[in-house]
Amino acid sequence: MAANNQPLVEGQAVYTGTNDFTIRLKADDPNPEDTLQYQIKLNGTIKKDWTSIARNSPVDYTFRASDYINDRNQFEVSLRDNSGEVTTFSAILVKVDRPKTRDVIPRLHGSSKTNKAMFQTKFQIITSEKETYLRLSVNLQVSGTSETLIQ
């Protein structure tokens, strides 16, 4: 089993984001008289039912991003011969977007008549497919002394 000309390992998690993902499979059997078929499932749903495959001839299959229903989507490729022997390979397609961060830096300043005071706030918005949250940092400076109040 391979993807992007790289072999896949049983149980491997592959980051796909929101992209389609193509696998290439080749089948062989120690008995030259056996005929071979393969089946492909995604999250337990049959995507390609039992289909004949020639020995050592590569077959490509593309998982469509629109079919990814979970953040982690298990796919299985099963191979069977005409005597009923079945071998199954499985791996996981991970679609969760890696968190994106964006700095929003409003600068708020203030002062008094006796002491110069200045504070600075920094907001960082972090988003992923599951959540969005805000990281806040407040720094206060009074007469040349600086102290971080919230981090």
Same domain, residue pair 27 and 88:
yes
Residues 105 and 89 in one domain: no
* Nearest Cα to Cα of residue 74 among 61, 89, 87: 89
51: domain range?
Answer: 2-94
Least confident of 59-63, 79-83, 106-110, 134-138: 106-110
Q: What is the pLDDT of residues 69-89, one digit of tens each?
A: 888 899 999 999 998 889 899
Is there a single domain that holds both residue 9 and residue 52? yes
Domain boundary among 77, 94, 111: 94
37 and 108 assigned to the same domain:
no
Quick one: which of 43, 27, 40, 9 has its CA closest to 85? Answer: 27
Are 111 and 81 in a shared domain? no
The answer to whether the predicted template modeling score (pTM) of the entire model surpasses 0.85 is no
pLDDT tens-digit series, residues 6-27: 677 788 888 888 889 998 888 8
E strand residue ranges, the chain? 2-3, 6-7, 13-15, 21-25, 36-42, 45-53, 59-63, 72-81, 86-94, 100-104, 117-127, 132-142, 145-150
